Structure 1
Amino acid sequence: MDRAELVELLSPEGLRLLDSLPEWQAKTDIVAAVSDLRRQGHSPSLVAAVLTQSRLRAKARAKFGEFSTRMLFTEAGLEQATRLRVAALHAGRFARAGIRHVADLGCGIGGDSLALAAVDLEVTAAEADEVTATIAAFNLAPFEQARVLHTTAEEVHLGGIGGAWLDPARRVTSGGRTRRLSDAADYTPSLDFAFGLADRLAVGVKLGPGTDRGVIPVDAEAQWISVGGDVVELGVWFGAVARPGVRRAALVVGEQGADELTASADSEDAPVGPLGDYLYEPDGAVIRARLIGDLARAHGAWMLSDGIAYLTGDTAFQSPFAQGFRVIERLPADERQLRQALRARGIGTLEIKKRGIDIDPAVLRTKLKLQGAASGTLVMTREEGRHVALLVERLPRDAAH
């Protein structure tokens, strides 16, 4: 979206038209929608703008819930925006630390600023891109205590501000295409600037969950967060918003609440041993935080193979930090023999999970030529360094989580 399109969208006509559209559906006939709006006399640029926003609002529902129906978005801004549920956790840190004024430096479309303002914190948000800054201002308009500046993070005057939140841009758009930056040195603002603010402010920095751990300062708290089984971010915290004694944390957010593992450092892996009666797959946040060993020791489990994030044991347990499986039987790891074994058991629908073994589950599923009415879950991995194929069934998750 360029500046002219945004101006047209923000006109009374544009906003009324956007709000009058039916909710976007995957089956929406775009050609018919464009034709209908053009027949009503709306300009091609306005039609394109409102239909794009309608689609983005529908896509944003997963992150912002009902708030999405009154917000505006850019494609890149929505992609990088924090889920509102997670942003509320960020805001809670600043509120509990007694910080009343927070700078959101590189605010994007304003998702984190919205959460900060919602807990009555004063917010100074800054965004270098003019269109994105305007959209952030629109999204934050209901909050008198929030203001948006069209400027870079580095240019914001921080006098009187007690805390800062930064979500450095990890994508660049060129020629209409957006690509993810692989080198943290290329982020905007830079990590040197972001981490350097911790010398004078309480600071939180949002990074991608796969960020090289070598960039995490030794005096910071690093918290990986997963939502619904997907690891969505790494939060790096300093000063009053970092918890004393916590350097590694895995926060698992589910439908019923949140659970967390914390430690003062990476945990030592548990010993490796043979396959037990049960197999456990730790949540991705636990894996990223390197707290698998602590999880294993808490439940009397051990590693199935060195360097592979599967635990095993002879006792069933339920945990929000791992999905458990009962091991039904070992099957041949050889493809031809495995196909015969599955066919003999009438398994026609197969979930394939793999770790530590170079296979493409989709390709393997095709080669297995599955037949039958039964379904199953197959784990392809290593046991004490050797390839194994395990037929398993999922254990129910704890209803409390």
Structure 2
Amino acid sequence: MPHSPQAPNATAPQDQIAPLLTTEGWELLASLGPYRESESLALNSSLRKAGHSPELVSAVLTQSRLRTRAEAKFGEFARQLLFTQAGLEQATRLAVAARHAERFAAAGTSHVADLGCGLGADSMALASLDIPVTAVEFDETTAACATINLMPFPHASVVHADATSVPLDGIDGVWLDPARRTTSTSGTTRIWDPEEFSPPLSFVESLAASGKSVGVKMGPGMPHDSVPAGCEAQWVSVGGDVTEVTLWFNKVARPGIRRAALLLGPRGAAEITSAEDFGAGPVPDIGPVDGYLYEPDGAVIRAGLVADLALRLGGHLLDEHIAYICAPELADTPFARAYKVLETMPLNVKVLKAWVKAQGITTLEIKKRGVSTTPEELRKQLLPGASKSKSAAKGKPGKAATLVLTRIGDERTAVVVEPV
């Protein structure tokens, strides 16, 4: 991913990477086990006593910490890679990068340019499928990390350049992960206008217009009216966390699919798709709170596929603007979390306090959609002694309950549910 110029700070990224690109630095880094915060001070001291410079010790410990954090995205491969803080935050999870690479492989792509490759996660996935890849990165330190990370792959090369300036002759596939944040002395700030991304969305569309197979990773909050015509938009959720929306153009777009929600989790992959444009598609029934309540995965909601899911479940919405579904029967679906409806009551503090007292509730999970009520504040009102309840109720079994707060028409409603 191309990055904005680094804001001045006490320890710039290059100061944390350069000491590692030496024989001493690389060997020292390889000798360390998993990073443990509780042991970092003692390890710092022992490494300095062994004669290593403060700069090298700082760089090695920082990299060890980043590698340990990176295991959530890169698994066991994290122990062989180099990271920067910003690069790790923005890097594609390896399981998702593999999905991206499979698109280009299925389309018969002969050479892919990864424009704004960041630390090289997507380039690694492409190269692992024996697809030649030219990885382009504007930030010099990040490009150095990508070079190290891609060394095991003979079909991958790294170019330190602006993503928009690299010739694409002979390249039939392009992958992009535009920078969507600016960096300043106070930290990073998210950019919302696609034309202010680096590179901008119009550049992506110009590549697609040339006929190349193009995929671009965007933030999952991308408004539907910003999605270009003629592409497939696929929202991706990993373990319930919506990580991105990918726009696919030309050969890497699937025929007859305009929008999709792909869920990756412990049970494998599941996807729901629609050929209809945004705002079109089925119109679900509106009905009462009964039977089972379903909370759709965030990717389903972002892709505008809640109505499609309601039809699959044989259910209805509680309100046309709220992403809660009710159905009379329990269905096993990867696309939503299911709850059994126990009772409903007005979303009124006095009513809910009486209910909590009568039921002997000591632990309360609160979910909400379509109401301004803050779960944390409501919990404090309903369970004022909750923070002390563990010590006060020692030896006394507590009772847990789950509340779903929502709006149905003009009425604010609290639904007592039981997770399935």
Query: What is the TM-score with the length of structure 1 in the denominator?
Result: 0.95
Q: Determine the structure 1 residue equivalent to 2:60.
A: 50
**In the aligned structure 2, how far is the partner of 1:376 from the partner of 1:44?**
53
Give the Cα–Cα distance (whole angstroms) in 1 for the partners of residues 200 and 311 of structure 2.
Answer: 39
Kindly indicate whether residue 110 of structure 2 is the aligned counterpart of residue 100 of structure 1. Answer: yes
**Residue aligning to 1:280:** 294
CA displacement 1:117-171 (0-9 Å, x = unmatched): 1111101000000000010000000000000000011111111111000000112
Identity among equivalent positions (%) equals 51
Provide the rounded CA distance (Å) in 2 between the counterparts of 1:183 and 1:34.
43
Amino acid of the structure 2 residue aligned with 1:204: G
Q: 2:398 aligns with which of 373, 389, 399?
A: 373
Kept in 1, the 8 Å contact 2:401–2:418? The answer is: yes
SS at match of 2:255: coil
SS at match of 1:351: strand
* CA distance in structure 2 between the aligned counterparts of 1:326 and 1:288, rounded to whole angstroms: 24
Aligned residue number for residue 182 of structure 1: 192
Matched-pair contact (CA < 8 Å) for 1:327–1:392: yes
RMSD over equivalenced CA pairs, Å: 1.5
Matching residue within 138, 145, 163 for 1:135: 145
Paired with 2:83 and 2:346, the residues of 1 have a C-alpha distance of 51
C-alpha distance in 2 between matches for 1:263 and 1:30: 50
d(CA) in 2 for partners of 1:174, 1:30: 29
Answer whether contact 1:305 1:385 (CA < 8 A) is retained. Answer: no
Give the corresponding residue for 1:361. Answer: 375
Aligned-pair CA distance for 1:29: 3.8
* 1:246 corresponding residue in structure 2: 257
1:227 is matched with which residue?
238
> Higher relative contact order at CA 8 Å, sep ≥6: structure 1 or structure 2?
2
> Which residue of 2 is the match for residue 386 of structure 1?
411
Could you list the per-position Cα deviations for residues 178-234 of structure 1 after superposition, in whole angstroms to 9, with x for gaps in the alignment? 222222222111111112101221000000000122221110100001010111000
Structure 1 residue 33, shift from structure 2 partner:
2.7
1:308 is paired with a residue whose SS is: coil
Question: Which amino acid is the alignment partner of residue 35 of structure 2?
Answer: W
Q: CA deviation at 1:5?
A: 4.2
CA positional deviation for 1:2: 4.1
For 2:301 and 2:53, locate their aligned partners in 1 and report how far apart those are by CA, in whole Å.
Answer: 51
**Structure 2 counterpart of 1:394, one-letter code:** P
Preserved contact between residue 101 and residue 121 of structure 1 (Cα < 8 Å): yes
Structure 1 window deviating more from structure 2 (249-258 vs 361-370): it is: 361-370
Structure 2: tracts of 5 or more residues without a match: 1-11, 390-396
Q: Which residue of 1 aligns with 2:352?
A: 338
Matching residue of 1:298? 312
Deviations 1:106-125 (A, max 9, x none): 00000100100111110100
Task: Report the equivalent of 1:398.
Answer: none
Counterpart for residue 399 of structure 1: none
Q: SS of the residue aligned with 2:164?
A: helix
Q: Distance in 2 between matches of 1:271 and 1:32?
A: 63
Which of 317, 325, 333 is matched with 1:311 structurally? 325
Shift of 1:271: 2.3
How far apart, CA to CA, are the structure 2 residues paired with 1:74 and 1:385? Answer: 49
Aligned residues: 394
What is the deviation of 1:176?
Answer: 6.8
Gapped regions of structure 1 (runs ≥ 5): 396-401
Q: Equivalences for 1:135-284 in 2 at 5 Å? A: 135-175=145-185, 177-200=187-210, 201-265=212-276, 266=278, 267-284=281-298
Match of 1:125 in 2: 135
